[in-house]
Structure 1
Amino acid sequence: MIHKLPLRVYYEDTDAGGIVFYANYLKFAERGRTEFLRALGFENSGLAAAHNVLLVVRHIEADYLKPAKLDDMLELRTSVTGLAKVRMEMRQEIFHNDVKIFDMKVVLVAINMDGRPCPIPDEVADKLKGVLTIS
C-alpha cells in the first residue's frame, strides 16, 4: 500500500529564498506517517493509551532532489518497506507534478513509556504486514 497525502506549500514553510526550508520536509514526512497509520485504523495517541507504545524515529536518510516553492501542490507517498519485531522501515517520497523532489528512508522503533525497545503490538504488526511494499 502506498498512502498518498496532498500537501500545499504555505509561506510559513519557506525560507528567505522562497523555497521550502529543508527541515520542513521532515515535518511533512511526520504528517505522512501519522496519516498512514490513521488510514490503517491507528492513532499515535491510541497506541500510547492502549498499548503503552510509541513509534519513534531512530534513523533517517534523506535526499533533497529539487526545491518546492510557495503555493506548490505536493503529494507525499508513504509506504512500509520492512518490518521486524520492534522496528519498521518506511519510504517517503514527495512529488510535484509527478516529479520526485524528495526521497527519504526512515527507521522507526517501538518503545515503551520508559523509553525501552518493545515489540510492535500484534494488531499493528498484522496490519503492517498486510501493506508491506517491496521497494
Structure 2
Amino acid sequence: MSDSQPFAWPVRVYWEDTDAGGVVYHASYLRFMERARTEWLRRLGVDQLAFKQATGLAFMVHRMEIDFLRPALLDDELAVAVEVKERRSASILFAQSITRADGAVLIQAQVRAACVDLARMQPARIPEDIIGRIGQG
C-alpha cells in the first residue's frame, strides 16, 4: 500500500544513454531509476552522504524486477516515478516506472533497497527518523 502519490523526476535522453541506433541502452534505465530514488530521498531531507557518515549505513539495491515495455529514444523527455509499496525494518520496496512525455509507459519495475551496515556489509534496521520521513513521502 502506498503512503502518497508517486514522486517523479524528469530525465532527458542524451547520446551517452543510447546505443549506436539512438535507442536507450537497457542499463541506462537503472541509472535513471537510481537518480530518481536519490532525488526522492533528497526531497525527504535525507542527504545520503551525511547519512552514511553519521550512521555508517547506506541503502543498496537488493533486488530488481524490470519489464521493458517500449523503447526510449535519443532526446526523449521522460518522467521517472518512485512510489513506496512496502516498508520493512531493513528494506523498502519501490514501484518505479518510466513514462515518456506522450504518456507511454516504457518501464515498470519493482526495486527492493536494503539498509546496510557498511562496516559489516549486513542488513541493518532503518533508523526511525528515516522511517518517519518515508511515511510522509
TM-score (norm 1): 0.93
From 99, 122, 125, the equivalent of 1:119 is 125
Q: Does 1:27 align with 2:35?
A: no
Deviations 1:17-39 (A, max 9, x none): 21000000000000001000000
Aligned CA RMSD, in angstroms, stands at 0.9
* Percent sequence identity over aligned pairs: 33
2:45 is equivalent to residue 41 of structure 1: yes
Task: Supply the AA of the counterpart residue of 2:44.
Answer: L
8 Å contact kept, 1:51–1:121: no
Residue 103 of structure 1 corresponds to 108
Structure 2 matches for 1:1-135, cutoff 5 A? 1=4, 2-96=6-100, 97-114=102-119, 115-131=121-137
Q: 3-state DSSP class of the match of 1:36?
A: helix
Structure 1 ranges of 4+ moved more than 6 A: none
Q: TM-score, normalised by structure 2?
A: 0.92
Q: Residue deviations 1:14-71, cap 9 Å, x none?
A: 0012100000000000000100000000021121012211100000000100000001
Mark the runs of 5 or more structure 1 residues left unpaired by the alignment. none
Q: Secondary structure at the match of 1:59?
A: strand
Secondary structure at 2:79 match in 1: strand
The one-letter amino acid of 2:126's match is: I
Aligned to 2:82, the other structure's residue is in SS state: strand
Counterpart CA distance in 2 for 1:10 and 1:116 is: 36
Q: How many residues align?
A: 131
